[in-house]
Amino acid sequence: MIEIPHDIDLSRIPEHIAVIMDGNGRWAKRRGMRRSQGHLKGAERVRPTVEACKDLGVRYLTLYAFSSENWRRPTLEKNFLWRLLYFFIRKEIGDLRKEGVRFRVIGDVSPLPAFARKVIEDAVAELSCNERITLTLAINYGGRNEILRAARLWCRDVLAGEADPDSLDDETFSRYLYTSGMPDPDLLIRTAGEMRLSNFLLYQSSYSELYVTDVLWPDFDEKALLDAVRSYQRRVRRMGGLPLEEA
């Protein structure tokens, strides 16, 4: 359990934190290692991050694990990532269950190897009753694809007479997204210093607070997480309006 500093306001903890986990390859390259070693080290950061978020009172943690564009990577690296995903879930599922962690995956997992799909399916089912924190991995996920998928699903319901085109609003459309049932991210963190969303949660992050750190994901520890939360707590979330004192 982490020690929460006195300057962290527990009444203003983000309900949902999303993270673009970037920098595994650079971490390895700087140390003269193979990229696979960077991915392995990055996977080891997931468990401490989940635990720290849980201790802070974060209810949802969404991690960008593999984008729909990452298929362009070398076959050897992709195959390693699927094996890493398999062994990570198998290794951690017992502790995740004990810690009250619910597990979800967003994205199209159909192109994944059968062993990876099976371990995901089993973990989602086994941890479905947990309620303390929801860990979501975005795998073969792309924000544009998600929006197009949602639009197609809604159009099918309209054509089937199950949806009224004149009643479409944000709440209704959100139910067709992968993230249906989850609140939008309050805080979106990107590691490794890049200033872009990389097609991650485009619809959901409209009013998310963005935080970019130069820390590479394998080095993203509790201190780095607390720095992100501090930055979040220093901001005024107007959501398009004005705070009372400025109105």
Q: What is the pLDDT of residues 148-169, one digit of tens each?
A: 999 999 999 999 999 999 999 9
> Do β-strands 60-67 and 16-20 pair in parallel, antiparallel, or remain unpaired?
parallel
Domain of 195 in residue numbering reads as 11-142+185-232
Q: Within 13 Å of residue 90, how many CA atoms lie on the same side as its CB? A: 11
Examine the pLDDT at 247 and tell me if it is beyond 60. Answer: no
CATH number at residue 43: 3.40.1180.10
pLDDT at position 243: 59
Q: Which pLDDT band holds residue 238 (cuts at 50, 70, 90)? A: confident
Q: What does the alpha-carbon distance between residue 161 and residue 164 come to, in Å, rounded to a whole number?
A: 7
Lowest-confidence pick of 33-42, 130-139, 207-216, 233-242? 233-242
Residue 115 lies in a domain: yes
- Which residues are known catalytic residues? 22, 70
SS3 93: helix
Residue 112 lies in a domain: yes
φ and ψ at residue 190, rounded to 5 degrees = -125, 125
Examine the pLDDT at 35 and tell me if it is beyond 60. Answer: yes
Element (H, E) at 97: helix 75-98
**Is the CA virtual torsion 27, 25, 20, 117 positive or negative?**
negative
- CB contact at 8 A, 150 and 118: no
Q: What is the pLDDT of residues 174-228, one digit of tens each?
A: 999 999 999 999 999 999 999 999 999 999 999 999 999 999 999 999 999 999 9
Q: pTM of the prediction?
A: 0.95
* C-beta neighbour count of 41 within 10 angstroms: 18
Domains of the chain: total: 1
* C-beta neighbour count of 111 within 10 angstroms: 11
